[in-house]
Structure formats: C-alpha cells, structure tokens
Amino acid sequence: MSKITRRKKSTHRKRAAAKTLHAQRFPGETAAYRKARDRLLKAEIDLRRRVEAVAVARRKLRTGGAVPQDYVFEGVDELMGVRRVRLSELFAPGKDTLVLYNFMYGPAMERPCPMCTSMLDALDGNAQHITQRVNLAVVAKSPLPRILAFAQERGWRRVRLLSSAGNSYNRDYFGEGADGKQWPALNVFRKRGAAIHHFWGTELMFVPGEKGQDPRHVDFMWPLWNLFDVTPEGRGDWYPRLDY
C-alpha cells in the first residue's frame, strides 16, 4: 500500500470519526439506525441547551410582588401536632426559597385530582432530597383532617401538607378560580430579611396551548410523562387514575 493510499484512508477515518457523536454502540444496531439516532441525539443536545438557557433566564428574574399577607395555614408539626403555621414560618433557617404546590383537593371535591396525586406520589419520595436545598410544601383547600386521611391512604410520609381552608392563598396565587374550581399551580417564593416576595409561578396553563397537547405547565417536575416521552408509545391519550 502506497503512502498516498494510507494517507487517504487515514484521512477518511478521521473524517468519519469527526461525524460520530460518540463511540458507544448498542448490540445489533445498524448503520441506518445509528444515522437516525445521531440526528435525534443532536436534537436532544439542542434541547438540553435550551432547557438550561431557560433555567438561567428564570434565575435572573427580577423580584416579584410582595405577598399581600402572612397567610395562616393549618398543618402538622412533629412535636406539637396539628397547629396553625404562617407563610413566614415555612422558611427554615438558612433556606430562603419556598416551593408551594397547589394540590387540587377542594372541599366540594369528592376525591382529589388523579393527575395531582400521580405527581405527588413521586414528589413525596423526593421531598427528603429537595428539602436539603429549599423549603417545600403542598397546599390544598380541603380541611386538614381530610387531606391527612388521603395522604395516609397514599402512603405519603415526607412531603409537608397544609390546609388553606381558612385563607385566600389559593385564590391569590392561581390555585383556585372565582367559581371555586381548583387549579394545579406551582409557586416559588423568596425571603429577604422579614420580606417575602413571589419569585416565579407556572403560567403555561393560562396561555393558548399547542394543538393536541395539554398545557404541560408542571411536566418538568413530573417523572411519569418524562418517562413516557422516551417510549415508542409516547404519552398517548392515557391519564393516571387514583387506582387500577
């Protein structure tokens, strides 16, 4: 083999390697599969960059509005049992961020929302990790005993549960409509000294949706849908239930 031929083959291999995103290959995969998978991988890389860019932009949000009142909820304290707790008391020492999820379980609802329940099944398992960095609680409009009874039914043990039956928090922060209908809002609050301000809240459910899609306003924290998105079946028209 001449030096020119060897040089050409070496150049060809280098060019081929440059087009390959990584060297890993699954058993039995074809060249056609790899070509299609690499196209998809480039899209996934772009999505990763976009997700991070949005997260960076979100972190740069200016301070939102001051909370109109130090809302009083009803919750359970490990030492004191059932007691009233103010919004300001939900901030543990050294943690200035509070994440509050509105659980769709109003007093007029016979049973809670299956969709919220599905997400909270997962959130309860992650609560012990989340609270290492930020404060976390779940708020529902039903009386506390009703909320706790359902939590026991589901086996929830870690997520902090609160009743907003005695205040206007749900209405003020888009967890409840004027007609009393419950909405699945997620809100983040920030504390600076004695002042508490709203930082960010889910709003995708209020803007026009994409054709054939749900608003997906809390999907980023919902393992169920993210897992289905990597399967051939996708999300389909299936929705979770309280039991099967």
Predicted confidence band of residue 82 (pLDDT cuts 50, 70, 90): confident
Q: Where does residue 28 rank: exposed (0-12), middle (13-18), buried (19+ CB within 10 A)?
A: exposed
- In the three-class reduction of DSSP (H, G, I as helix; E, B as strand; rest coil), residue 91 is classed as coil
* pLDDT surpassing 50 at residue 17: no
Beta-strand pair 195-201/186-192: antiparallel
Summary mean pLDDT of the chain: 92
Strand 135-140 to 161-163 pairing: parallel
Residue 77 pLDDT: 79
Mean pLDDT check: name the lowest of 2-6, 39-43, 45-49, 77-81.
2-6
Q: For residues 162 and 71, is the Cβ–Cβ distance under 8 A?
A: no
At the top level of CATH, the class of 72-204 is alpha beta
Percent of the chain with pLDDT over 90: 84
For residues 188 and 78, which has the higher predicted lDDT (pLDDT)? 188
Torsion (CA) 186, 191, 196, 198 in degrees, nearest 10: -30
Residues ≥6 apart with Cβ < 8 Å to 242? 111, 112, 114, 117
Dmax (CA) of the chain: 87
Residue appearing with tokens 């991988």: 41
Residue 31 has pLDDT above 70, yes or no: yes
What is the model's pLDDT at position 210? Answer: 87
Rounded Cα–Cα distance for residues 31 and 50 (Å): 29
pTM, rounded to two decimals: 0.88
Q: What are phi and psi of 16, to 5 degrees?
A: -65, -40
